[in-house]
Structures are given as structure tokens and as C-alpha cells.
Amino acid sequence: MSIHNIPPRPPGMPESKPEPEPKPVGSAYRRPDGTLELRMHAEARGGVVGSALFILKPDDPRYASVLEHLGHPPSGGYAPVKPFPWGMF
């Protein structure tokens, strides 16, 4: 059966629930000069904890994609950092 031949939802069948929003893994601040400060935090099984600070200047090759991922916070503004797609950062 192809995706174009999917039968209609049976009467009374509940709608599928949307995926929950991923929890932020940090926060970002956009300095007045455009530089991004990303404060990241992660925890894993076994008590493993990690924190990192990334500084991205506007001439960094990753800058545009990270800014897009953050939703273009205004100069002097903050934004939550959602998990990055694998290989993006």
C-alpha cells in the first residue's frame, strides 16, 4: 500500500498525538556585536554530566545555521537551545 492509498481513520479511533517539544539543552545569548554565546548542559545515565560554553562570531561557518536554529534572537536577547540535529553543530 502506498502513502496515497492510506484508508481513512476508522470512526472512534483517536487522533495521533503530536511529538512533545524537546527540552532545551541550554541557553543562548546574542551579544550586541552579534556574537552568540551558547551555554550547553547534558546529563546521561550513570551520573554523567557535561557543560560547555561555545562562542560563535558572525564569521564562523556555523553561525548562520545556528542562528536559524535558535530562531534569530534579537541583539542583546536570549533564546533556549533545543537539541541540534545530528551533525549540525
Per domain, the residue ranges of the chain are 23-89
32 falls in which pLDDT band (50, 70, 90)?
very high
- The whole-number pLDDT of residue 2 equals 55
- For residue 60, give the DSSP letter: S
Residue 29 banded pLDDT, cuts 50, 70, 90: very high
- Per-residue model confidence (pLDDT) at position 20: 84
Q: How far is CA 43 from each of CA 46, 51, 55, rounded to the nearest angstrom?
A: 9, 9, 21
Q: Average of pLDDT values for 23-30?
A: 96
5: pLDDT strictly greater than 90: no
Cell of 32: 550586541
